[in-house]
Amino acid sequence: MNKYQLKITPYELSIRPYFSYMPKIRLFVILFIVVFGSLIFFHNLLDADIIRIVIAVGVVLLFYIIYDYLFHVNVRFLFDKRTRSVYKVNIVKKRLMAFDEMTILTNSEYGDITYIMGKKKNQFVKNYTISDTFGTSKKHQAREKEYIEQILHPILEFVK
């Protein structure tokens, strides 16, 4: 459950639900290095159009890496006891809701379950995913049980 980066202090609890994107980002960084590294060794052998295509693929990979890193991996939900509020911290700190307004539900799409957090009055309009997807296999059910015990229960205890 380290992939959620759960940190609990007496006054704050923070979770990074999208931290599991990190292996995918590492893979794309390696692909990016391979794509541009291949240009160094094979630029004399390749046609100019192929070089442009390789550069375009590399630039797309670079933008994807930067976007995923900035707007997924770095997203952190902060539960602050001092203000009794939930914040979304990315580049800026944005207040989402008070503890009293917060509810945690399950969202089921295509047979997979995710846990979402939203305001009680409009949880179906604006909500935030706080878990990976869990399928129906025994492995997924074991992961879901572990998530509930190690992540969800501490969040609910902290909010109460």
What is the spatial distance between Cα 98 and Cα 125, in angstroms, rounded to a whole number? 17
What is the spatial distance between Cα 134 and Cα 115, in angstroms, rounded to a whole number? 9
Helix (H) or strand (E) run with residue 20 in it: none
Strand order in the sheet with 93-98: 7-8, 12-15, 76-80, 85-89, 93-98
Q: What is the pLDDT along the chain (160 residues), one digit of tens a residue?
A: 577 888 898 999 999 988 888 888 999 999 888 888 888 887 777 788 888 888 888 888 899 999 988 888 888 999 999 999 999 998 889 999 999 889 888 888 788 888 999 888 877 778 888 888 888 888 988 888 988 888 888 998 898 8
Q: Do residues 144 and 134 lie in contact, with contact meaning Cβ atoms separated by under 8 Å?
A: yes
What is the spatial distance between Cα 19 and Cα 70, in angstroms, rounded to a whole number? 11
